[in-house]
Structure 1
């Protein structure tokens, strides 16, 4: 039974990886047949795991939130965790442009989107509190400001290639860091 479950989990991850690659190359509306071909599975496997495109995208968003959670856990109690989480956010925008663009474009009150956004902010709250307490960031930085910062980093989506997006994301971080720093602090 465990082998069957692990095989199913592996196929699900394979489909999510394939969707991320296909959507990154062709956009979020790319034919799902391309996802099936990239994953090397049958169409029935796709639909058994994800009954429609919306379910597939929601699973991709959930996986992104889980990666942020793992990154936050890995950073632990580091004072600079907030800045590392923001850098991780920039890397995800570079690697998964279609998903990042979708995240920005959909109705922010859509229940799965709202839940994901709230969960990400909750994951970042302790890092923000530590950065404020240690003087690494400005005292008036609010949790809601992190959504604005995410949108600013999303401007990297203007890059046509991964290298362009990486350059834009790095520049955005370089410009944002001094504005986030506490007066006189070098974050």
Structure 2
């Protein structure tokens, strides 16, 4: 029984990997048959795991949030956890541009998007405070600012190629790092 569960989990992960690759290359409206082909599973296996495209995309969103949670946990008490997570977010934008663009375009009050955003904010509260306490970032940074930061990183999606997106994401991170560490200025 445990072997069957492990096989099912492996197939599910394989489908998610394939969907991430296919959507990254062809967009989120790509035919799901491309996902089936890339994952080398039957169509019934895809639909048994994900009844529709929305369920598949939501599972990819959940997996992204889980990656952030693992990254925060793995990095532990380091003062720079926040910046490592932002680097990871930028990397996901570079490698999965269609998904990132889709998530940015969906109504922010859509339940799965709202839940993911709230989870990420909760995950980053302690790393933000740790960065503030260590003097690595401005004292007025709040967890809710992560959505704004994510949108700023999203400018990397303007790159037409993976290399262009990587250059834009790197530059955005450089600018963000400077701004996050900058002095609070009440003018504006």
TM-score (norm 2): 0.95
1:144 & 1:67 partners in 2: Cα distance?
19
Gaps of 5+ in 2: 184-188
The CA deviation string for residues 2-27 of structure 1, in whole angstroms up to 9 with x for no partner, is 11111100100000000000000110
Q: Which residue of 1 aligns with 2:137?
A: 137
1:91 & 1:118 partners in 2: Cα distance?
21
2:3 & 2:144 partners in 1: Cα distance?
43
Say yes or no: does 1:152 pair with 2:147. no
| CA RMSD across the alignment | 0.8
Q: Which residue of 2 aligns with 1:20?
A: 20
Secondary structure of 1:140 counterpart: coil
The CA deviation string for residues 38-65 of structure 1, in whole angstroms up to 9 with x for no partner, is 0000000000000000000010000000
Secondary structure of 2:94 counterpart: helix
1:1-187 alignment, distance < 5 Å: 1-183=1-183
Q: CA deviation at 1:182?
A: 4.4
Any conservation in 1 of the 2:94–2:165 contact (CA below 8 Å)?
A: yes
2:153 & 2:80 partners in 1: Cα distance?
18
2:98 & 2:54 partners in 1: Cα distance?
14
Any conservation in 1 of the 2:138–2:181 contact (CA below 8 Å)?
A: yes
Q: CA deviation at 1:134?
A: 1.6
Any conservation in 1 of the 2:125–2:142 contact (CA below 8 Å)?
A: no
1:61 & 1:150 partners in 2: Cα distance?
14
Moved over 4 A (4+): none
Q: Please say which of residues 139-148 and 15-24 is displaced more in the overlay.
A: 139-148
Q: CA deviation at 1:135?
A: 1.3
Any conservation in 2 of the 1:135–1:182 contact (CA below 8 Å)?
A: no
TM-score (norm 1): 0.96
